[in-house]
C-alpha cells in the first residue's frame, strides 16, 4: 500500500468531498470531526502562520528566525496533516462489521432501485463513503433516526 505523499493528499481531498457531512455519522466515525477541523484549518492557518511569523519577527527580531520558521511551518502543516490522515483512511480496509453494514445499505438501496454495487472483500473506507453518500441522498430521514 505504498503511495506517494501527494497522491495521499489528493485521496484525502477526494474522500473529504465524498463523505457525507452528517452529524449522525459523527457518533460512529472520526471522519466528521477530522473533516470539520481540516475544513476550518484550510483557510485559517495560512493567515495565522503569517501573523505569527510577522509578529515574532517584529517583536523579537531576526535572532529568533529559526524558531519563527518552525512555528510558521507547524501552522501551515496542520491542514495537510488532516488531508494525509483522510487519504490514509480512505485507503484503509473496512473492518468486517462495517463491511456487513455497508452491504446492508447497498442491498437497501438496490431494493429501492438505486444502482449500487455491494462491497467486496477488499472494500476500503472510500467505498463506504460512496455508499453512505448515496444512502443519505436517497433514503428517507426516518431510516437514519433508527441508528
**pLDDT at 2 exceeding the cut of 60:** no
- Where is the domain boundary, 92, 114, 138? 92
Bridge partner list, 124: 93
| The dihedral sign for the CA sequence 35, 40, 42, 48 | negative
Task: Looking at the structure, tell me whether residues 76 and 35 fall in a common domain.
Answer: yes
Task: Looking at the structure, tell me whether residues 69 and 102 fall in a common domain.
Answer: no
Task: Looking at the structure, tell me whether residues 141 and 110 fall in a common domain.
Answer: yes
Task: Looking at the structure, tell me whether residues 76 and 10 fall in a common domain.
Answer: yes
Q: Evaluate whether 129 touches 105 at the Cβ level (below 8 Å).
A: no
Structural domains of the chain, count: 2
- Where is the domain boundary, 47, 65, 92? 92
Task: Looking at the structure, tell me whether residues 11 and 76 fall in a common domain.
Answer: yes
Q: Evaluate whether 29 touches 23 at the Cβ level (below 8 Å).
A: no
Task: Looking at the structure, tell me whether residues 133 and 81 fall in a common domain.
Answer: no
pLDDT at 20: 94
**Which helix (H) or strand (E) element contains residue 42?**
helix 31-60
Count the Cβ atoms, other than its own, within 10 Å of residue 133.
Answer: 15
pTM of the model: 0.87
Give the tens place of pLDDT for each residue, 9-38: 999 999 999 999 988 888 889 999 999 999
Task: Looking at the structure, tell me whether residues 103 and 73 fall in a common domain.
Answer: no
Average pLDDT over residues 46-51: 95
Task: Looking at the structure, tell me whether residues 87 and 98 fall in a common domain.
Answer: no
3-state secondary structure the chain: CCCCHHHHHHHHHHHHHHCCCCHHHHHCCCHHHHHHHHHHHHHHHHHHHHHHHHHHHHHHCHHHHHHHHHHHHHHHHHHHHHHHHHHHHHHCECCHHHHHHHHHHHHHHHHCCCCCCCCCCCCEHHHHHHHHHHHHHHCCHHHHHCC
Range of the domain at 133: 94-147
Task: Looking at the structure, tell me whether residues 34 and 88 fall in a common domain.
Answer: yes
% of the chain residues with pLDDT over 70: 97
Task: Looking at the structure, tell me whether residues 115 and 73 fall in a common domain.
Answer: no
- Give phi and psi for 98, each to the nearest 5: -70, -30
Give the tens place of pLDDT for each residue, 84-97: 999 999 999 999 98
Task: Looking at the structure, tell me whether residues 64 and 110 fall in a common domain.
Answer: no
Q: Evaluate whether 48 touches 10 at the Cβ level (below 8 Å).
A: no
Task: Looking at the structure, tell me whether residues 34 and 84 fall in a common domain.
Answer: yes
Amino acid at each position: 500500500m505504498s503511495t506517494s505523499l501527494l497522491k495521499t493528499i489528493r485521496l484525502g481531498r477526494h474522500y473529504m468531498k465524498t463523505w457525507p457531512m452528517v452529524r449522525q455519522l459523527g457518533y460512529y466515525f472520526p471522519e466528521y470531526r477530522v473533516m470539520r477541523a481540516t475544513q476550518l484549518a484550510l483557510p485559517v492557518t495560512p493567515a495565522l502562520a503569517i501573523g505569527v511569523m510577522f509578529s515574532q519577527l517584529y517583536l523579537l527580531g531576526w535572532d529568533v528566525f529559526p524558531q519563527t520558521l518552525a512555528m510558521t511551518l507547524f501552522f501551515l502543516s496542520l491542514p495537510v496533516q488532516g488531508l494525509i490522515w483522510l487519504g490514509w483512511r480512505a485507503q484503509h480496509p473496512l473492518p468486517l462489521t462495517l463491511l456487513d453494514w455497508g452491504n446492508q445499505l447497498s442491498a437497501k438501496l438496490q431494493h429501492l432501485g438505486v444502482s449500487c454495487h455491494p462491497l467486496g472483500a477488499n472494500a476500503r473506507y472510500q467505498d463506504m463513503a460512496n455508499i453512505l453518500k448515496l444512502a443519505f441522498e436517497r433514503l428517507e430521514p426516518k431510516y437514519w433516526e433508527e441508528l
